[in-house]
Amino acid sequence: MKYYVAVTTDAFYFQLRDDNPKQPINFWRPTTRAFRALAPGDLFLFKLHSPRDYVVGGGTFSEFRIHTAAQAWKEFGSRNGARSETELIERLGELRDRHNMGRAAEFGCIILERPFFWRDTDWVPIHDYCQWMPSIVQGKTFDTNTNGAQLWEAVNKRLQK
């Protein structure tokens, strides 16, 4: 089985964890390049930026779409991991500026169903279970039969709780 571990910001993760939404969420990315790493129904996990190298939650991948901020805000509201449309636009702009991406109106939306957010005591220290290189800035695909077996065991234990 394939699964994906995506790098995310503390602001995105903690806001959603505090809100604990039960409806689908938007794990947005600054580019419109299609996300093809997973098939619908596959597991998508969140890993915080270093030095917090932990897998902290996730959801079930549903689909990839392209939206403007207004479209994403209308559909997901705070389930974009931002408190307002203005904050969403600011975060998107900051990320694009940091990576010299320009200011395009549209961005990619990875739609996740059944989101879950673990308590700090359930976080999975990623370096204990796989080699995670600091150069990975977006995420990485794993397979439970090969490079992701050990990490999957640790994640699956938390999912069974």
Mind listing the pLDDT tens digit of every residue in the chain (161 residues)? 999 999 999 999 999 999 999 999 999 998 889 999 999 999 999 999 988 999 999 999 999 999 999 999 999 999 999 999 999 999 988 877 665 556 667 899 999 999 999 999 999 999 888 888 876 778 999 999 988 999 999 999 999 98
CA distances from 90 to 13, 85, 95, 114 (A): 17, 9, 9, 27
At residue 46, φ and ψ (nearest 5 deg) are: -100, 135
Neighbours of 61 (CB within 10 A): 23
- Whether residue 25 contacts residue 102, with contact meaning beta carbons closer than 8 Å, is answered with no
**Cα→Cα distances 64→22, 53, 85, 151, Å:** 19, 26, 20, 25
Q: What does the pLDDT read at residue 100? A: 57
15 near 80, Cβ under 8 Å?
A: no
Q: 7: which 2 tokens?
A: 């790098």
**Contact 4/61 with Cβ under 8 angstroms?**
yes
pLDDT at 143: 94
pLDDT at position 68: 93
Q: Domain segments of the chain: what residues?
A: 2-135
Q: Which residues contact 13 (CB under 8 A, 6 or more apart)?
A: 46, 48, 56, 57, 81, 117
- pLDDT for the residue 12: 95
Q: pTM of the predicted model, to two decimals?
A: 0.93
Q: Which residue has the tokens 């991406």?
A: 101
Residues sharing a CB contact under 8 Å with residue 37, sequence separation 6 or more, in sequence order: 2, 4, 139, 141
Amino acid symbol at 3: Y
What top-level class would CATH report for the domain 2-135? mainly beta
Query: What residues contact residue 31 under an 8 Å CB cut-off, 6+ apart?
Result: 101, 107, 108
